[in-house]
Chain A
Amino acid sequence: MELPPANATGGDGRECCLSDSSSFRSGRRSIHRETQALRLALVLASAVSGCDGTLSGGVPAARSEAPVASEPAGGDEASASGAALPLDGRPIFSQLVRLTHQQWEQSVRDVLRLDDLPGLSESFTGDPPEGIFSNDERGLLVTPNLSLDYQRAAEQLAQRVARDAQALSRLDGFGDPAGFIQALGRRVYRRPLTAAEQQRYQSLFAVGPMALGSGDGFADGAQLVVEAMLQSPYFVYRTELEEDGEPLNSYELASKLSFLLRNTTPDDDLLDAAASGEFETLDGIVARARRMLDEPAASAVAARFHSELFGLERYSAIAKDPQRFPQYSTSVNPALQQAEALFLNNLFQDGQGLAELLTSKIGFVNAETAPLYGLEAAGGDFQAVDLGPERPGLFTRLGFLAYNGTLRDPDSIHRGVEINRVMLCARLQPPPGIIPALPSIKPDQTNRERVSAHTGVGTCGESCHGTLINPIGFAFENFDALGQLRDTDNGKPVDTSGAYQFSDGLESFRGAPELMQLLATNPQVHACFAEHLMQFTLGRDLVEDDRALVDQLERSSLRTGTSTKELLLAIVAAPSFSRRPTAATRGAAQ
Chain B
Amino acid sequence: MNRQPSQTSSAAAPQPVRGQPSPQRGRRAFLRTLGTLGLGLPFLEGLPERSAWAQAAPGPVFGLFICTANGVVQSFRDEPEKFWPPELGPLTVSGMQAFASDRATGMLADHAEQLSIVRGVKYPFANNGCGHALGLLQCLTAARPSGTSNTATASGISADTRIADALNPAGVEPLSLYSGLKEGFINEKLSFRAPNQVRAAEGDPWNVYQRLVGLAGPSPAGASPDLAAQLALRRKSVNDLVREELSSLLNRPALSADDRQRLDLHFSSIRDLEQTMLQMGRACSADGLDVQALDALNTGRAFRQDGNIEQVARLQIDLATLAFSCNTTRVATLQVGDGTDHTRYTINGEKVERFHWISHRQTSDGGDGQPIAQALDWHIAIDRIRMGTFKYLLDRWSSLSVANGTLLDNAFALWTCHVAIGPSHSFNNLPIIVAGKAGGFLKTGQYIDAGNVTNNRLLNTLITANGVRDGGGPVTNFGDASLQPGLIDALVA
- Interchain CB contact (< 8 A) of B262 among A142, A228, A231, A431: A142
User: CB-nearest residue of chain A relative to B227?
Assistant: A213
Question: A433 to B150, alpha carbons, bound, how many Å?
Answer: 14
Contact: A148 with B215, CB < 8 Å?
A: yes
Contact: B246 with A144, CB < 8 Å?
A: no
Those of B216-275 within 8 Å (CB) of chain A: 217, 230, 233-235, 237-238, 241-242, 244-246, 249, 252, 254-256, 258-259, 262-263, 265-266, 268-271
Question: A268 to B459, alpha carbons, bound, how many Å?
Answer: 55
User: CB-nearest residue of chain B relative to A586?
Assistant: B256
Contact: B134 with A147, CB < 8 Å?
A: no
Contact: A155 with B217, CB < 8 Å?
A: yes
Contact: A431 with B210, CB < 8 Å?
A: no
User: CB-nearest residue of chain B relative to A149?
Assistant: B211
Contact: B23 with A163, CB < 8 Å?
A: yes
B302 to chain A, nearest CB (A): 14
Contact: A228 with B255, CB < 8 Å?
A: no
Contact: A123 with B424, CB < 8 Å?
A: no
Contact: A433 with B252, CB < 8 Å?
A: no
Residue B199 CB within 8 A of the other chain? yes
Contact: B269 with A152, CB < 8 Å?
A: no
User: CB-nearest residue of chain B relative to A200?
Assistant: B241
Contact: B230 with A212, CB < 8 Å?
A: yes
Contact status of A435 and B366, CB under 8 A, knowing A145-B173, A145-B200, A317-B342: yes
Those of B123-150 within 8 Å (CB) of chain A: 126-131, 133-134, 148-150
A525 to chain B, nearest CB (A): 21
Question: A232 to B130, alpha carbons, bound, how many Å?
Answer: 41
Collect the chain A residues with CB atoms within 8 Å of residue B425's CB: 433-435
Contact: A213 with B230, CB < 8 Å?
A: yes
Contact: B173 with A232, CB < 8 Å?
A: no
A149 to chain B, nearest CB (A): 7
What's the tally of chain B residues with a CB closer than 8 Å to chain A? 85
What's the tally of chain A residues with a CB closer than 8 Å to chain B? 75
Question: A433 to B360, alpha carbons, bound, how many Å?
Answer: 11
Those of A177-234 within 8 Å (CB) of chain B: 200-201, 204, 207, 210-213, 224, 227-228, 231-234
User: CB-nearest residue of chain A relative to B244?
Assistant: A200
Residue A385 CB within 8 A of the other chain? no
Most chain B CB inside 10 Å of its own CB: which residue of A93, A144, A232, A454: A144
- Interchain CB contact (< 8 A) of A435 among B134, B211, B423: B423
Collect the chain B residues with CB atoms within 8 Å of residue A126's CB: 182, 200, 202-203
Contact: B234 with A211, CB < 8 Å?
A: yes
Question: A159 to B200, alpha carbons, bound, how many Å?
Answer: 29
User: CB-nearest residue of chain A relative to B171?
Assistant: A144
Contact: A129 with B173, CB < 8 Å?
A: no
11 contacts between A and B (CB under 8 A): A94-B256, A123-B206, A128-B198, A128-B200, A210-B233, A211-B237, A231-B242, A412-B368, A431-B367, A433-B131, A455-B368
> Chain B interface (Cβ within 8 Å of chain A)?
21, 23, 77, 126-131, 133-134, 148-151, 171-173, 176, 182-184, 187-189, 193, 197-204, 206-207, 210-211, 214-215, 217, 230, 233-235, 237-238, 241-242, 244-246, 249, 252, 254-256, 258-259, 262-263, 265-266, 268-271, 342, 353, 360, 362-371, 423-427
> Chain A interface (Cβ within 8 Å of chain B)?
92-96, 123, 125-129, 131, 141-149, 151-152, 154-156, 159-160, 163, 200-201, 204, 207, 210-213, 224, 227-228, 231-234, 241, 243-244, 311, 313-314, 317, 406-409, 411-414, 429-438, 441, 450-451, 454-455, 586
Additional A-B contacts beyond A145-B200, A455-B368 (15; CB < 8 A): A143-B193, A146-B200, A148-B214, A155-B217, A160-B23, A204-B241, A211-B230, A227-B234, A233-B245, A317-B183, A430-B149, A431-B129, A433-B130, A435-B366, A435-B367
- Rank and list the top 10 A-B pairs by shortest CB-CB distance, nearest first: A433-B127, A147-B269, A430-B130, A433-B131, A211-B234, A92-B258, A142-B266, A144-B269, A430-B149, A430-B129
